[in-house]
Structure 1
């Protein structure tokens, strides 16, 4: 048994090494942990404490972090804060960043990654244009939970507060759980960080638009809390937002921050920056382009049906990610049967709205009608991949690339899938080819099959994956 004095010393060393504080009722847990760790190293408790306090002992500190961390979390936890993020913070930051077209976000004590991915999804849904670059950094002291975060697979329980539409759009069900889709994973990176220690690269001056640091401050010593809050405040751009946990309060007038209260949630905005726009109950429409209503009996009859105009409007709605409106428009009653291009667009929209089975049926019909149509094979590949039929999807991508050697997007998907399977050499070849072709890729194909990414964003993504292969000449 460890003695009370030894437990107190252990608690002091944890505060020094990690910045963590423990209440008196944690003494039994700490005493048991001290005894177990000393025995693991074949030491008496006093010798173990002396070694822990004498000089750096990284492997042991890592073990202590893993044993003491509280890792329970889930997607979109505390929904009222995410409502404030969506309806207040993100619109304000998007308006302020309209010239740079970037959003940078930080999740402190991100645990197994649910919060960081939730931030990425919220920002991805809010961005006004595909050219915007979104990045989320998740940091935690526990390497084990960071490994889970990087894997991006979660149980159904982790998605218990996730709306069905969000689950369908940004997750893929497999292995009795869910994978975060690649287009969200690529926005997020994770790193191990001890918040008790300075990190100039992480806490650079005025680099984040949004910082989430929820339910952490209560576990830190007062000195570490003070230094961490100062770092987070300085790391926010003027006008950036800080979200803390419900148990963490900085008072009504913290230095450099102003208190906000909306959506039944308190949060903070760094003073300065552009004058905040007038907030209203409803968000402005994404586009002023009117969407015609074919259901209203009072609407005047259309004298002539313009197929090109209808297709182009539906394609524009797809670019704006107004998928249901685009689907309604492209499938509205018309005097002639749908053209192949319209049916292809319909299939893309069915997939985007979560009606994957219908999209697969339509894509197969398009392929049956014209087996030489590379776009039909590309659509079928995307649908099959989302449905976890990856091997068949690879075959469809190869057909698309064979039928049109100038088609960049199937090459890119083939490279990404090869990387996922650990075949970096194959991935490198496919990604090299995709990178060469992307500059000339058809705009319509980027809209249909680019997953909401612009040509520039796809090029950056392709180059990043190619560099990660490590086999380029």
Structure 2
């Protein structure tokens, strides 16, 4: 990477809060050359002006246009909107019955489909005409916000929209679909850079629902943590935060309770606030060891210890025999999980899946059980179900390397290198500190070094050079 591109990356991180993967360097070099040329400056002079203390809003807008990814459509990730419609909003409507006001926020709204979907779902549930529903959409790009305000979309943008919703709220116009004025009137849009503070935007307890999907992973850790803090504080008590499948706050985020319904995870603002005072430092994710200390006793049965030792020696059949011939009277979750792992390795996928589902019925935040269920589903050929469970495992415990590795390998298998690269990069970083028991349970007989070598080889195949 050239020094100019590295400096360009640093300026973008400082000004916009964005982080870029090493594989993005060729794109950054092209954008740098293009924008310096448009400004009629050499690259050194352009970077000096861009990083200077004075404002340059037109150029920051142009950079936002060049570098943002705006793939979106109505009702994208429908399971989250089903959770919104059937769980979150009915509760918020009940809580707001005296005020008759619902306020929602779409952070990184792009061309408006997400913000308008929020408005449509709320309108469908609105108890009466005297209720006020408002949605605010935020994005750094003025061009996409202009498209959002126009509210005219192609059939492709409506590809996941239910037919009844399409017929009720969209009107054909000149080969496009124009959103009904009744929905448009409830939604406003505003240009906003998430790396900046805005007191009026983030007033305490003003939103009932916030959607911020697939944005956090593009931000620096400092900006990401600050944005999460702002969103949490600005949610009403009992309000809901929906993140993207690639974004996770772990299973113990400050001020939020993880929720798991409709085959998706989201968060609810705690009724008893635990939010710390404002601070720029990122919130640390929960550690696996802490979960083990609070959820499970430290000691296990002799059968568990013997079986785990046999598993480490790759004596899988012997380990399964120990577990099944000398089971504890009341097996702990980790003992039941080990049984599921050994059953899967013996080809008894249905029995292993049953154990995992029962574990999750008891504790839906058990990341290891989500991962092992994914292994069972993948082995049975249900790749879409496996992807969902791997994502849930990574979502619940963001320090868990193994689901990141599997997500990266599955993306590579589909030829989706842009998806695979970040997952494999994350897996590679996490493997350095992955717990030995997890490597034994989920490594398929491979140790830490072999898994690390596999990660590096797949990253090279993706075109990510380290």
TM-score, reference length from structure 2:
0.58
Name the residue aligned to 2:4: 6
- The aligned residue for residue 180 of structure 1 is 179
In the other structure, the counterpart of 1:125 is 124
In the aligned structure 2, how far is the partner of 1:273 from the partner of 1:78?
30
Contact 1:107 1:115 in 2 (8 A): yes
- Among 32, 35, 39, the alignment partner of 1:34 is 32
User: Which aligned pairs between 1:194-213 and structure 2 lie closer than 5 A?
Assistant: 194-213=193-212
Q: Distance in 2 between matches of 1:112 and 1:228?
A: 21
1:237 is matched with 236
1:379 alignment partner in structure 2: none
Q: Hey, what's the Cα distance between the residues in 2 that align with 1:211 and 1:252?
A: 19
Do the aligned residues in 2 keep the contact of 1:237 with 1:273 (CA within 8 Å)?
no
Residues 239 and 273 of structure 1 are in contact (CA less than 8 Å); yes or no, is this contact kept in structure 2? no
1:301-340 aligned at under 5 Å gives the runs none
Deviations 1:203-252 (A, max 9, x none): 11100000000000000000000000000000000000000000000000
1:98-145 C-alpha deviation (Å, 9 max, x unpaired): 111110000000000000000000000011122111000001000000
User: Could you report, residue by residue, the CA deviation over 1:262-320 in whole angstroms, capped at 9, with x for unpaired residues?
Assistant: 0000000000189xxxxxxxxxxxxxxxxxxxxxxxxxxxxxxxxxxxxxxxxxxxxxx
What is the match of residue 434 of structure 2?
A: none
Counterpart in 1 of 2:420? none
> For the residues of structure 2 that align with 1:59 and 1:106, how far apart are their CA atoms?
25
Query: 1:144-163 alignment to 2 at 5 Å?
Result: 144-163=143-162
Residue equivalent to 1:380: none
Q: Report the 3-state secondary structure (helix = DSSP H, G, I; strand = E; otherwise coil) of the residue aligned with 1:212.
A: strand
- Counterparts of 1:37-56 in structure 2, within 5 Å, are 37-54=35-52, 55-56=54-55
CA contact 1:73–1:111 (8 Å) conserved in 2: yes
What is the distance in 2 between the residues matched to 1:97 and 1:129? 13
Deviation per CA, 1:404-460, whole angstroms, max 9, x where unpaired?
xxxxxxxxxxxxxxxxxxxxxxxxxxxxxxxxxxxxxxxxxxxxxxxxxxxxxxxxx
What is the deviation of 1:201?
Answer: 1.1
Deviation track 1:345-387 (CA, whole Å, cap 9, x = no partner) reads xxxxxxxxxxxxxxxxxxxxxxxxxxxxxxxxxxxxxxxxxxx
* Alignment-derived partner of residue 420 in structure 1: none
Q: Match for residue 439 of structure 1?
A: none
Shift of 1:43: 1.5
Runs of 5+ unmatched residues, structure 1: 275-473
How far apart in 2 are the matches of 1:57 and 1:10? 15
In structure 2, the residue matched to 1:262 is: 261
The alignment covers a number of residue pairs equal to 272
Cα deviation 1:65-121 (Å, max 9, x = unaligned): 011111110000000000000010001101111111110000000000000000000
Distance 2:89 2:174 in 1: 34
Look up the match of 1:215: 214
CA distance in 1, matches of 2:23, 2:126: 46
Counterpart position of 2:89: 90
